[in-house]
Structure 1
């Protein structure tokens, strides 16, 4: 059995069970925990639980640990910053904050000067992007996409539509948001049509019938949809959105919270199609595990914000900025390229697995943002929800940490410095887990 020596106890082990029991008394039950992993420590792509069991982490804290767990350069940067000061609020200046702004301006995909607003999370970045769009356009409406995930605070939640669980009990959210389909070539909503063109035509129809384009501030979209199923849009779709926005004076916001910072083999996913946003949101992998987010926008837009128009207390925190500076340096110099190269190998291994397992309907993605959709044995491509859950659970017991997305997609988002050898080990564990799940074990 692959990796059997690394799992030393029944899972969860006794120490893990004890901590889970303590947690149940004092921590909100709203956290969606899929299996009982209780972490002790991690290095790179490897993590250990409190009972000494070793796992390969192909969830990476939901695509957050971009440079792996405890990368020495990130840890050193954090320690050096902590030795200086822990906080000085965004009312003042300091080197780590300015340096991060300079790095983001250098790598920003806008094709011109860019400015950043720093915050603590993806949902806060989205909230700020929406405020900026309203502020500079004077418009109130927005277009979002079904299947999108943009956060859980009230503004971003109004766009989030990957699962209705996130919406139950919170209506009404922010008004003025109209959802349209996200083009999914594997599950086409528009029969016999180019899915990207069909969605663009659908938006044009809305503009003619119910949503005046002159009132739309922005279109918010994930260049590769994350929580909705790791869906890669057809070529030409993002360019079509760009043209549509330009035609009507609408801003284009790319949510790169999950797909950015090297995850897809380029610094930002939109660069695969050469399409520039007006505003972009970042978080997750930006700080290699420290809580940080950013709104990056064309300078011509963000410079319109007046003093006090938007702000926060912890934005530009020196410790988080130090981690982000080290992360961008590592990703731009080494790890984005590694994600592209190792991701190609990973995709080929998954296609080999698919050839032996008809339940794998599609393998899709770019770089190390890869989805494997599981389906029932029928012509309708019925999502295999139960099988997907079983594979995730069996993988945990075999020493591989995974998460799902969409209706029945296993998603792979290991650290960007994962090795080919670790990919091969993970595929062996995945094959074992899939076979066990199919056998009902």
Structure 2
């Protein structure tokens, strides 16, 4: 009988603890190859039952998760630099979330807020109205996903303004519904052969400092001027209902717009009667070292869309905006059967409590303070790293052919594969598939954050 060994080639005897949450051992532990035999068995079942269009970044089947680790069906404990794509920022089984959801599930799981309402929905909306940027009067309503939130925000803007055109940006991602696919910039895999798309959507240049033709120092001013000129000439400002933008682009590659670009757009929109919509689905709830990313430059959106980190892994999203905009919609024009499910509402209230009680806004800044210097040091060593960027616990490196700005998706994929084999969950992003993005849970212990960065350094050295 063979003896299982850990990553340090020491005998591994005891099985992983059989529950998630804060008592889950916070350690990387590899007892099989990744993926192991049990995960491979489950992957074969997935292939037989689930369409191939549902892709998998790392085919390990998770049994427990919490803190900064995920444990798979083979007993491997992997460091989590993904957080379920920025969803489990407070952890996969945060105690406050578990407690409130457990209590609610025993009381009732659903009534439909539009039929017989309940207090937790109202309380979530009250907190969003208070916490989102701006001291104006606000209203909020709850839906199920980020795409649904963005689509509803556009509905509100069109209804309130009586206009139809929507302006979006290169490299943007907003979802997989028909309208949000249209708003999304990237063809493969999000849009390919799913058309025709929704009308009256216009795409503008993004202030992408690393790839701006005349250099990053000119990026904000030139990108804003081009956008405003194109809107005025090609669409007519009087026809534009909304400008929709991510304060930091997510799927597009964690692109931080050059400073000054977002304030210039917001000011232009305000003067032209255009609704300025911030898609904070990936950037919201302490992820960037602010509660919301647009706070970094003092931008106050007319409508803000949130999801992902709002409810600790339960499906919930929100649209929050100026009262006069949201109240303009007729009764019955907004809503949905599952929107603001009571379990998700309780989870959201627990998430907000956790962010405040555990100082997670500051913790995100601390994570960025650890990651950015380490990654910039790697960029000094490895010519394949073209750019290091991000804020808080939303960090990325863009990989290029050395000596050029040409995207290198192949080396990006190889780094990901080797990181996964070493027990580090990392994700890719970017229009060109050449960005490694890091979204560690804000609950990750410092030793795991350091070990994950050491694994990345080891992998890059091996190339």
TM-score range, shorter-chain basis? over 0.9
Q: Measure the CA separation in 2 of the matches of 1:204 and 1:354.
A: 35
Residues 111, 276 of structure 1: 8 Å contact kept: no
SS in 1 for 2:283: coil
Give the counterpart of 2:104 among 81, 89, 92.
Answer: 81
Q: What's the counterpart of residue 63 of structure 2?
A: 40
SS in 2 for 1:373: strand
After TM superposition, the structure 1 = structure 2 runs for residues 22-61 of structure 1, keeping only pairs within 5 Å, are: 22-61=45-84
- Give the C-alpha shift of residue 189 in structure 1: 3.5
Q: Measure the CA separation in 2 of the matches of 1:8 and 1:297.
A: 50
After TM superposition, the structure 1 = structure 2 runs for residues 12-411 of structure 1, keeping only pairs within 5 Å, are: 12-91=35-114, 92-190=116-214, 194-333=218-357, 334-378=359-403, 380-406=404-430, 407=432, 408-411=434-437
Unaligned runs of at least 5 residues, structure 1: none
Q: Measure the CA separation in 1 of the matches of 2:214 and 2:375.
A: 28
Distance 1:207 1:428, change over 3 A: closer
Q: Measure the CA separation in 2 of the matches of 1:288 and 1:45.
A: 14
Q: Measure the CA separation in 2 of the matches of 1:421 and 1:163.
A: 39
Q: Measure the CA separation in 2 of the matches of 1:417 and 1:340.
A: 13
Q: Measure the CA separation in 2 of the matches of 1:246 and 1:121.
A: 27
The two structures, once aligned, show a CA RMSD in angstroms of 1.6
Q: Measure the CA separation in 1 of the matches of 2:420 and 2:187.
A: 23
Residues 218, 251 of structure 1: 8 Å contact kept: yes
Query: Which deviates further from its counterpart, 328-337 or 117-126?
Result: 328-337
- Give the C-alpha shift of residue 113 in structure 1: 1.9
- Give the C-alpha shift of residue 384 in structure 1: 1.6
- CA distances 1:244-274 after superposition (whole Å, capped 9, x unpaired): 1012110100000000111001100000000
User: How many residues in Structure 1 have an aligned counterpart in Structure 2?
Assistant: 436
Q: Measure the CA separation in 2 of the matches of 1:54 and 1:211.
A: 53
Q: Measure the CA separation in 1 of the matches of 2:142 and 2:213.
A: 38
- CA distances 1:325-381 after superposition (whole Å, capped 9, x unpaired): 111121234111111122211111212222222211211100000011111112x31
- Give the C-alpha shift of residue 4 in structure 1: 4.6
TM-score normalized with structure 1 length: 0.96
- Give the C-alpha shift of residue 32 in structure 1: 2.5
- Give the C-alpha shift of residue 205 in structure 1: 2.1
TM-score normalized with structure 2 length: 0.91
Q: Measure the CA separation in 2 of the matches of 1:294 and 1:235.
A: 27
- Give the C-alpha shift of residue 40 in structure 1: 1.2
Distance 1:229 1:65, change over 3 A: same
- Give the C-alpha shift of residue 387 in structure 1: 0.7
Q: Measure the CA separation in 1 of the matches of 2:425 and 2:416.
A: 8
Unaligned runs of at least 5 residues, structure 2: 10-28
Query: Which deviates further from its counterpart, 76-85 or 89-98?
Result: 89-98
Residues 339, 417 of structure 1: 8 Å contact kept: no
Residues 108, 114 of structure 1: 8 Å contact kept: no
Query: Which deviates further from its counterpart, 89-98 or 234-243?
Result: 89-98
Residues 216, 258 of structure 2: 8 Å contact kept: no
Q: Measure the CA separation in 2 of the matches of 1:172 and 1:110.
A: 38
